[in-house]
Amino acid sequence: MSTCLLTTGASKRIGFISTRFQGTDGVTLEARKWAQILSGMGHSCFWMAGLLDAPPEISHSAPLAFFNHPEIADVQARLFGVAFRTRAVTNQIQSLKEHLKDELYRFIEKFRLEVLVPENILAIPMHVPLGLAMTEVIAETTIPVIAHHHDFAWERDRFTLSAVNDYLQAAFPPLLYGIEHVVINSMQQKELARRLGIPSQIIPNVLDFETPPPGLDDYNRDLRREIGLRDEDWFILQPTRIVQRKGIEHAIELVRRLKDPRAKLIISHPTGDEGNAYMAMLNDRIADAGIDVRIIADRVGETRGINAQGKKVYTLSDVYPHADLITYPSHYEGFGNAFLEAVYFGKPVVVNMYAVYARDIDPLGFKTIEMTQLVTREVVEQVRAVLRDQSMRASWADTNYALGMKYFSHAVARRKLAARLANLFGEGL
């Protein structure tokens, strides 16, 4: 379908708002994809956050919007894991909220914005004052909004006990006129309707399947040698951060049970912000298994370059072409970007049947090796078979890429975003 058919009248000036638009976290990546798609439809996109890597001429920096700003971290530490808050904490929240409202109004006026896209700040209460400020600005201005929700409070155990239930009901998310609520999976859609009576539309995470993936070139061709692998080794890639919900212990168990010295587990990202206990447990598992595991986080970045040790830095797009197999044994995911990346780069993937995958992705017919919290004999044998059979890998890659194009391409998001704008402005597609 021609992109030019997917317009909504005159071009709009659209402002994206979050705590951070920097790095490779899921919210930042998906927001960039939306902005690319909307720009291709003729709209202009602008950015506001506490941390930004957007050009200054199209962005508004508001340091207080960052969830790790010292003042924000201080107040957030008093809100969860307890049942009550003091009047002083309430006053602190309200003061921060007012400062953030001023920043939001400056952003709107600076770029003459016509549509706002709050990215996850009206869903997960990582920054309660910002969510409250955003809600009040929407109520006061009635500016059209597409609220993009990635994670909700009820999906995270750490938000179960709260001293701000009144604020959560008011703003996470708010039920206001002029908001198009967008979620990334069907479970969120059902829970949002059940808990709050708020209707929403699903726009899944997407990749640019219309553009073929990059492959080997003069820069990345030496990656295997640079990280100490031989051509005949099995490059088994775990392309995630090291956090507990990623289930990396299953990838370790899989490599152990392959019982093949060619099998090398490569972890591309560093530890997350959840403490060191999980990494310590993984180190014990690795030692007990006696397998070759390499964490190459110091060699993988957002852009190519040189690290502090004078060694080449590669992007994740440089790493994927070298992989023979992707492990994705997560216990929980809001959607599953690493799964889409494996499909995009034509790699076989071992995936745990986390709830969103089981409900929204598995029924579509992707060819994968599936596990249900256990690395069984059948899983190990399927992995051996796919590693040894190049024709099977090629067939799976073709099937999966076609399904990715059909269900998770930029074209899918483009159609759905055009419909959201049409609803807001009453204009035909």
Model pLDDT for residues 243-264, shown as the tens digit of each residue: 999 999 999 999 999 999 999 9
- pLDDT at residue number 8: 52
- pLDDT at residue number 190: 97
- pLDDT at residue number 23: 82
Per-residue pLDDT tens digits for 27-60: 999 999 999 999 999 999 999 999 999 999 999 9
Name residues whose C-beta falls within 8 Å of residue 394's C-beta, 6 or more positions apart in sequence. 346
3-206+410-425 and 223-407: same fold?
yes
Per-residue pLDDT tens digits for 354-365: 999 999 999 999
Split at pLDDT 50, 70, 90, the class of 428 is low
- pLDDT at residue number 2: 38
- What is the CATH architecture of 3-206+410-425? 3-Layer(aba) Sandwich (3.40)
Rounded Cα–Cα distance for residues 297 and 337 (Å): 18
Q: Please report, for the chain, the start and end positions of each structural domain, with discontinuous segments joined by +.
A: 3-206+410-425, 223-407
- pLDDT at residue number 26: 85
What number is the average pLDDT over the span 332-348?
A: 95
Its pTM stands at: 0.91
What number is the average pLDDT over the span 139-154?
A: 96
Please check whether residue 12 is in contact with residue 43, taking contact to mean a CB–CB distance below 8 angstroms.
Answer: yes
Per-residue pLDDT tens digits for 150-208: 999 999 889 999 999 999 999 999 999 889 999 999 999 999 999 999 999 999 999 99
The mean predicted confidence, pLDDT, of the chain is 94
Per-residue pLDDT tens digits for 220-240: 999 999 999 999 999 999 999
Fold for the domain defined by 223-407: Rossmann fold (3.40.50)
16, β-bridge pairs: 47, 117
